[in-house]
Structure formats: C-alpha cells, structure tokens
Structure 1
Amino acid sequence: MAEKVYPMTAEGKEKLQKELKDLKLVKRPEVIERIKVARSFGDLSENSEYDAAKDEQSAVEQRIIQIEQMLKYAQVIDADSVDPNEVSIGKTVTYTEVGTDDPETYTIVGSDESDPLNGKISNDSPIAQALLGKKKGEKVTINTPGGTFDVTINDVKTNANA
C-alpha cells in the first residue's frame, strides 16, 4: 500500500523541521521534568499534575510522530518549475468573482501550512482544488459547501514575486 504524500512548500517543510527540533529538544525534556516533579508529590492516583503532564507527554509524542511521518513523505513543490501562469502549490493567485469588482488573493499551500486568516489556503480546500492547474485569464467554477460561484483568475505569482 502506498504511503500518503504530503505536498508542501519549502517554507512549510522548514517550519515543520523547526517544530520537530523544538519538540524533541525543548518540549519533550520539559514534560519529562514535569513528570519527575509530579511523581515526587507521592500518590499518583490523585495527582492532577502527574495526569496533566502525562497527557501533555502523549500529545507531544503524537505530534512528533505526525511530523516525522509528514517529513518522511514530504513532496516539496517547486512553484518555479511550473508554468508561471499556472496555479500550483506555492503560488499566490488573485481572482475576481464574476459580477463583482473585489479581487481575492490566496497563496495555495500544503494542508499543514494552511492559515486562511493570513491568506494561505490548503491545496485540499474546495477553492484550491478548483484553481489548481488553471491559468491566468481562465474562468473557473468553484463548488464550496456554501454554494457555487464563478471566478476569473486575474494573476498568478510565485511566492518570491507575491
């Protein structure tokens, strides 16, 4: 069975590598120390500090496993290697909904990098799915849970030019 591939930008991969390093070198030792201190309080059956530290340790270890998996199967997308007018992961796309004059701009990133409030949408989102592979000037129909709408792609830029 093929493993899941995790498309991401080089920036996203670097961010994950930094998070992994922080989890292993800072967070994990902090949690282990909290567990040692909580154990010293005695009876573990009614020790909320111990329970909280063990829960945090579990969360940290799960995140480490998740990041290691993502990095192992990371597919770094080089937006510069794609046609400059084509929408792809790592590019910023500006479009206008048909019938309006208000352009919207999003950078399409891997799912773990998405941050919609800062204009970064996941490649798995309905908007990105509709735009991926399309080119500047094309009209595209976007199907979202909130409804369907048509847009015209005004501009496509690599992050270096965004």
Structure 2
Amino acid sequence: MATTYPMTLQGAQKLREELNVLKSKTRPTIIKSIAEAREHGDLKENAEYHAARDQQSFCEGRIQDIEGKLAGAQIIDVTKIVNNGKVIFGSTVKLLNVGTDEEIQYHIVGDDEADLKNSRISVNSPIARGLIGKEVDDVSAIKTPSGVVEYEIIQVDYI
C-alpha cells in the first residue's frame, strides 16, 4: 500500500519549487563540475571529481525523495473547508497556556513543512496530536518533556 503524506497547498508548492531548482539548476551544475574534474585526469586521486559525485548522489536522492512525496501527497487546502471551530490538519490555532497565561499560535502542517521557529508544527507532534479534533474553548492536556501542560483553545482559523 502506498504511503500518503498530508501536505498543505503551500507545502506542496514549496516542494515543487525545490524540485524545479534541483532539476534545472543544481543537476546541470553538478554534471558540469564532474565533466571539468574528469578533464584533470586520474580519477582515483581526484578530490574534485569525488566531491562532485557525492553532490550528484545527494541531489539525485533528494529529487527521488521529493518526487515520491509529491506522488503520495494528500494535499489539503483548509481555505476550502467551512470553519466549524474544530482543530484539523492545516488549521492555525491560538492557544492559552493555562498555567502561565501565555498565548501561543501554531499552524498544523505536514512533517516536511514543520518549522518551530515559524510556529509551524507537524501534525505528528505531541501538541498537534493533542489538539486535533478539539474545538474552541476546549482544554487539552499535552504531555511534554517538562510535564503535562494544559492549553485552552482560544481561536481556530482555516487560512
């Protein structure tokens, strides 16, 4: 059975852009580097050649990885879903830490899109798993490394 990867519309677009750059710019540059390194002669002790081959291997692996993820992508556009106040994949959630009265906002995204510095958390993270299916005004107890933290859901946006 094929693996599906939940992904936001923006996440899929970002992967397509990366794939395009890898195929149209990075790959030809590496091929050119390999050709130039071959001209230097003996390939056994040619560090430039081996470095270029390593780059090529990494680039081809990344291309295959992205193509596989895009082929198995389940793209979810939450802007087309009626907002019923429920936390779902792709939603942006504003939370209140019940213990500290600190407000925090997260956008729940796919694994490849997660970026904590930009408040984008993976749907598979403990926080997201604890919030999925909950509604505005619900309180969710999330198990964290520092103990259980209770969050009240203040707002849910499908943007």
Query: What's the TM-score, normalizing by structure 2?
Result: 0.94
Q: Which amino acid aligns with 1:59?
A: F
Unaligned runs of 5+ in 2: none
The list of structure 1 runs, each at least 4 consecutive aligned residues, that deviate by more than 3 angstroms after superposition, is none
Q: Does 1:39 pair with 2:38?
A: yes
| Contact residue 82 and residue 88 of structure 1 kept, 8 A | no
After TM superposition, list the pairs within 5 Å mapping 1:12-161 onto structure 2: 12-80=11-79, 81=81, 83-159=83-159
Q: Distance in 2 between matches of 1:84 and 1:109?
A: 19
| Contact residue 99 and residue 149 of structure 2 kept, 8 A | no
Q: Report the secondary structure of 1:3's partner residue.
A: coil
Provide, for residues 82-125 of structure 1, a one-character-per-residue CA deviation record: whole Å limited to 9, x for no partner.
54311122211011111222101111111111111011111111
Q: Which amino acid aligns with 2:156?
A: V
Q: Distance in 1 between matches of 2:82 and 2:121?
A: 19
Greater shift, 74-83 or 44-53, is seen at 74-83
| Contact residue 92 and residue 108 of structure 1 kept, 8 A | yes
Q: Distance in 1 between matches of 2:82 and 2:69?
A: 23
Q: Distance in 1 between matches of 2:98 and 2:74?
A: 34
Q: Distance in 2 between matches of 1:59 and 1:147?
A: 39
Identity level (%): 45
| Contact residue 84 and residue 157 of structure 1 kept, 8 A | no
| Contact residue 83 and residue 157 of structure 2 kept, 8 A | no
State the aligned residue count.
Answer: 158
Provide, for residues 127-149 of structure 1, a one-character-per-residue CA deviation record: whole Å limited to 9, x for no partner.
11111111111010112334221
Provide, for residues 32-83 of structure 1, a one-character-per-residue CA deviation record: whole Å limited to 9, x for no partner.
1111111111111111111111111011000100000100010011223254
| Contact residue 83 and residue 158 of structure 2 kept, 8 A | no
Q: Which amino acid aligns with 1:113?
A: E
